[in-house]
Amino acid sequence: MAQMALRWILDYEAVTTIIPGASRASQITSNVLSSDLAPLSPALHDKLTKWYEAEVAKNIRGPY
């Protein structure tokens, strides 16, 4: 799940850096490997955008 979330973020051209948390070395390795995953499909990005707008955005403060 963490790799999928990181891949989703990496798919945005405006994103240049992700600073994920990690408490174990294995998490660092897993986080780094997310950049090797193929970009998510446009259809999946569309579904995630709709979910974000309906379920998450209202809980975020600020102009994000």
Domain boundaries, the chain: 2-59
- pLDDT for res 61: 81
Residue closest to 2 by CA, chosen among 32, 47, 25:
32
Does residue 6 contact residue 18 with C-beta atoms inside 8 Å?
yes
- pTM, two decimals, is 0.76
Whole-number CA gyration radius for the chain: 13
- pLDDT for res 63: 67
17-40: pLDDT as tens digits: 899 989 999 999 999 999 999 999
| Statement: residue 60 has pLDDT above 80 | yes
3-15: pLDDT as tens digits: 999 999 999 999 9
Distance of CA 37 to the CA centre of its chain: 12
